[in-house]
Amino acid sequence: MHRAHRGGLALALALATAAAHAGAIDTLQSFVRDVKSGHAEFTQTVTSPDGKKKRVSQGSFDFQRPNRFRFDYAKPYEQTIVGDGQKVWLYDADLEQVTVRPMSQAVGATPAALLAGGTLDKDFELKNAAPADGLEWVDAKPRQKDGQFQLVRVGFKGNALAVLEIIDSFGQRSRLEFSGYTANAPIAAQRFQFTPPKGADVIEQ
């Protein structure tokens, strides 16, 4: 009876763990399917492949499906990235430079597609990851083998988007920790429009 009890407990724990893992993918799929817009503040930490160098920046993030998003980096350098559904604009205030490219080239299997796009299963292979840091995790591997990202990891606290980790093709790791996340927040359409500032150099790619 004692062995049977222990075996039953182990099975119950295994099933509970499996259910938690399934829930992480379900949460991500629900996020893509049901959350039409969102707003959050973020802190981004970029770590070099050897783990010795780190850069920290802060800003805000807005998105509206399909394929409209905006990252405003405020500290330490001002930078804006806007996806308007047709093009992606990157503005570097210090350089007074705007880089613009077609949405089809700039999104694809990227973190922006994961958060603001609608083709999750088409662009990514999803795998359950072990819970860590009090979060449920999903690993999303781009199906495009020639992209600039190796892996994107998404962490949820309950149903709320909490962390986005990106490992690029050089092994550099970017971790965005979100706070004040609001799902289906009303966002003005102007947030996803971008007009290059007067005097800025515009580079078409």
Residue 41 has pLDDT above 50, yes or no: yes
pLDDT of residue 16: 37
> Quick one: pLDDT band at residue 94, thresholds 50, 70, 90?
very high
Residue 38 has pLDDT above 70, yes or no: yes
Instruction: Give the CA distances from residue 199 to residues 54, 96, 100, in Å, rounded to whole numbers and listed in that order.
Output: 32, 8, 16
Q: How many helices (H) and strands (E) does the chain have?
A: 4, 12
**Of 129, 127, 105, 107, nearest in space to 118 by CA:** 107
What is the rounded average pLDDT of the residues 63-74? 91
Average pLDDT across the chain, whole number: 83
pLDDT of residue 2: 45
| Domains of the chain, each with CATH number or no CATH | 2-204 (2.50.20.10)
Cis amide leading into 66 (omega within 30): yes
pLDDT of residue 120: 75
Alpha-helical runs (H) found in the chain: 2-34, 103-106, 111-116, 120-123
Residue 199 C-alpha from the chain's centroid: 32
What is the rounded average pLDDT of the residues 125-152? 86
Cis amide leading into 102 (omega within 30): no
pTM for the structure as a whole:
0.80
- How far apart CA 150 and CA 197 sit, in angstroms, is 34
pLDDT in tens, 164-178: 998 988 899 999 999
pLDDT of residue 37: 93
